[in-house]
Chains A and B, each alone.
Chain A
Amino acid sequence: MFLNKIIGLARSPTSVNQLSNLFQRCLISSTSAFQNKLTPAQSLEVSKYDERKDPVKNINEMIKNDEAGRLFAVVHICGKQFKVTAGDIILIEGHWEPSNGDELRLEKVLLCGSQDFTLIGRPILQKDLVNVQATVIEKSLSHTRTHFKFKKRKQYRRINFQRQPTTVLRINSIEIKNLVNQNKNAESLENVFY
């Protein structure tokens, strides 16, 4: 009830003055919501550089001991990007030369990851680092797409039917062939703008 009265008074400026006069007599203590600022949760301690925690070293150790496990990669094919792992099937639309039984190496690998680490290309990984093998298993045609153009009150209507050639790829394997950060011939980062 009291709160409602205050809010009702607050709507007219004159009564606000009266009310504030009233408050002059009272001791005013602001609520805790005003005073306490949000403190960040316990911050993560950033430890000093520890050689045992060097990520590149650890990743290379995993690659050497064959502990990386199942890998996935983001590959760029015919203008589209697919996140693939061994055994996947992907469909590529449009005219593309490879035919059934062709074994391909997908060279534009944007990213390669395992359970414990991720290698990110900028924009693509070095060609000798990751080997993504694929096989063409089907060449077919897509469903019929209808292109219907119509202009009202102009006696204009055109209808075209179109089917795109499609290619189905099976991803055979994804392997990390070399150690990370080892290729000295790789382009230095000073010359790369991104």
Chain B
Amino acid sequence: MNHSQFLVSGFLRAPIYNGIGRQINQLQRVTLKFCKSHGSSQGMRNFIENNLVDFAKQNDSVVLYVKPRRHRSPVIVAEYLNGDRKWMSCHNRPSEEILKWLSLLSLQAGDTEPIRYRKHWHTDVPSIQGPWNPFTHKNPGHIIAEYPHEGLGRVFKAPQSATEKLLKIAKKRNESENKKE
């Protein structure tokens, strides 16, 4: 199965200069939409009653809007500094779950669409000591030498040819016969 057909892959990114000097939370604005009477908004209503003020105090950089509307299912809309907008249905969700999702949204940095990261690392300076090449950590004498070089350019282990084998045998014979004589 080819995952790349439906799962987008990409590289690690971050809002520019975030974390250099200081870190800025990227969540800008949250709108909670719910119905005052419908059962599917029960969890959202509980959340607004019990947890919303605490959440707002903890995230003082986030603007919160609460928007009641009749007979529509509850929804969270989160907007980020990079213009990204995340819409999330909370139909029949309990308040604990809504709190969990909201705290996740507040820690994310826009671009909330999940992608498969090809690398878990991003750098602007890929190499400081220079990228590897075939001559790094090699004997400088080999690098300075002029090529083609008689000694360095030779094949290390040339297989013995049939001619050479025969010449060797002949040489041996010659020597042994000379000794006899």
Q: Does B5 contact A (CB under 8 A)?
A: no
Q: Is the CB of B170 within 8 A of A23?
A: yes
Task: Determine the chain B residues whose CB is within 8 A of the CB of A101 once the complex forms.
Answer: 22-23, 25
**CB interface residues, A 160-182, toward B, < 8 Å:** 163, 168-170, 172
Q: Is the CB of B173 within 8 A of A139?
A: no
Given contacts A43-B141, A138-B14, contact A24 B170 (CB under 8 A): yes
Task: Name the residue among B107, B141, B162, B165 with the largest chain A CB count within 10 angstroms.
Answer: B107
Counted as pairs of residues, one from A and one from B, with CB atoms less than 8 Å apart, the total is 151
Task: Determine the chain B residues whose CB is within 8 A of the CB of A70 once the complex forms.
Answer: 125, 128
Question: A39: nearest residue on chain B (CB-CB)?
Answer: B151
Given contacts A42-B141, A143-B114, contact A10 B162 (CB under 8 A): yes
Q: Is the contact region of chain A dominated by helix, strand, or loop, or is it mixed?
A: mixed
Q: Is the contact region of chain B dominated by helix, strand, or loop, or is it mixed?
A: loop
Q: Does A1 contact B (CB under 8 A)?
A: no
Q: Does B136 contact A (CB under 8 A)?
A: no
- State how many angstroms separate the Cβ of A50 from the closest Cβ of chain B: 18
- State how many angstroms separate the Cβ of A133 from the closest Cβ of chain B: 10
Q: Is the CB of A118 within 8 A of B139?
A: no
Task: Determine the chain A residues whose CB is within 8 A of the CB of B124 once the complex forms.
Answer: 87-88
Task: Determine the chain B residues whose CB is within 8 A of the CB of A43 once the complex forms.
Answer: 141
Question: A136: nearest residue on chain B (CB-CB)?
Answer: B23
Instruction: Give the contact-size bracket for chain A.
Output: 35 or more
Q: Is the CB of A38 within 8 A of B154?
A: yes
Task: Determine the chain A residues whose CB is within 8 A of the CB of B140 once the complex forms.
Answer: 44
Q: Does B171 contact A (CB under 8 A)?
A: yes
Q: Does B4 contact A (CB under 8 A)?
A: no
Q: How far is the CA of A54 from the CA of B164 in the complex (A)?
A: 53
- State how many angstroms separate the Cβ of B169 from the closest Cβ of chain A: 6
**CB interface residues, B 128-168, toward A, < 8 Å:** 128-129, 139-142, 145, 151-152, 154, 156, 158, 162-168
Q: Is the CB of B163 within 8 A of A88?
A: no
Task: Determine the chain B residues whose CB is within 8 A of the CB of A120 once the complex forms.
Answer: none
Q: Is the CB of A24 within 8 A of B173?
A: yes
Q: Is the CB of B158 within 8 A of A23?
A: no
Task: Determine the chain B residues whose CB is within 8 A of the CB of A99 once the complex forms.
Answer: 107
Q: Does B69 contact A (CB under 8 A)?
A: no
Q: Is the CB of B170 within 8 A of A20?
A: yes
Given contacts A7-B162, A143-B114, contact A168 B12 (CB under 8 A): yes
- Residue in B7, B142, B162 whose CB lies within 8 Å of A143: B7
Q: Is the CB of A23 within 8 A of B174?
A: yes
Q: Does A82 contact B (CB under 8 A)?
A: yes
Q: How far is the CA of A151 from the CA of B44 in the complex (A)?
A: 42
Q: Does A114 contact B (CB under 8 A)?
A: yes
Task: Determine the chain A residues whose CB is within 8 A of the CB of B170 once the complex forms.
Answer: 19-20, 23-24, 26, 28
Question: A82: nearest residue on chain B (CB-CB)?
Answer: B121
Task: Determine the chain B residues whose CB is within 8 A of the CB of A87 once the complex forms.
Answer: 20, 123-125
Q: Which residues of A contact B (CB under 8 A)?
A: 3, 6-7, 10, 16, 19-20, 23-24, 26, 28, 30-31, 33-34, 38-39, 41-44, 69-72, 80, 82-85, 87-93, 99-101, 113-115, 118, 135-144, 163, 168-170, 172
Pick 6 A–B contacts, CB within 8 A, sort by A: A23-B173, A30-B168, A87-B125, A91-B121, A101-B23, A143-B115
